[in-house]
Amino acid sequence: MRRRTILVLGLVALAAVAAACAPNATQSALEPKGPYAQESYDLFVPVFWVAAAIFVIVQGLLLFFAIRYRHRKNRTDVPPQVHGNTKLEIAWTILPTLILAGVAVPTVATIWDLAAEPEGDVLQVTVLAHQWWWEFDYPDQGIITANELHIPTGRPVYLTMCAVGLGYEQQIAPSTCQEQPAAVGNSVIHSFWVPELAGTQDVIPSRTTFLTIQADEPGTYEGQCKEFCGLSHAYMKFKVIAHTPEDFDAWVAGQQQPAALAERGGDAAAGQAVFLGTCTGCHAIAGLEDASGNPLIANGGPNLTHFASRECFAGCMLPTTDENLRRWLENPPAVKAGSWMPDYGLSEQELDQLVAFLDSLE
- C-alpha span between 163 and 272 (Å, rounded): 30
Nearer to ligand CUA, 153 or 232 (CB): 232
- C-alpha span between 124 and 126 (Å, rounded): 7
Q: What sign results for the dihedral spanned by CA atoms 218, 222, 227, 232?
A: positive
Q: Please, are residues 160 and 126 in contact by the beta-carbon 8 Å criterion?
A: yes
Interface with ligand CUA, residue 336, by CB under 6 A? no
The DSSP call for residue 316 is T
CB of 317 to ligand CUA, least distance (A): 12
Judged by CB under 6 A, the stretch of 57-65, 207-215, 224-232, 304-312 that binds ligand CUA is: 224-232
Instruction: Show the binding pattern over residues 71-110: x = contacts ligand CUA (CB under 6 A), - = does not.
Output: ----------------------------------------
DSSP for 110-178, written as a single string: HHHHHHSPP-SS-EEEEEEEETTEEEEEETTTTEEEESEEEEETTS-EEEEEEE-SB-GGG-B---TT-
How far from 156 is each of 29, 31, 35, 85, CA to CA, in Å?
Answer: 18, 19, 9, 55
Interface with ligand CUA, residue 132, by CB under 6 A? yes
Beta bridge partners of 133: 130
Count the site residues for ligand CUA by CB under 6 A.
9
Nearer to ligand CUA, 65 or 228 (CB): 228
Interface with ligand CUA, residue 306, by CB under 6 A? no
Sheet holding 219-225, edge to edge: 148-152, 237-243, 219-225, 190-193, 201-203
Among 157, 197, 215, 225, binds ligand CUA (CB under 6 A): 225
CB of 233 to ligand CUA, least distance (A): 4
Interface with ligand CUA, residue 227, by CB under 6 A? yes
CB of 125 to ligand CUA, least distance (A): 18
The DSSP call for residue 56 is H
Instruction: Show the binding pattern over residues 134-173: x = contacts ligand CUA (CB under 6 A), - = does not.
Output: ----------------------------------------
Region 174-203 residues binding ligand CUA, contact defined as CB under 6 A: 190
Interface with ligand CUA, residue 340, by CB under 6 A? no
Among 33, 150, 233, 239, binds ligand CUA (CB under 6 A): 233
Residue 135 backbone phi and psi in degrees, to 5: -105, 135
CB of 124 to ligand CUA, least distance (A): 22
**Which residue ranges make up the site for ligand CUA (CB under 6 A)?**
129, 132, 190, 225, 227-229, 233, 236
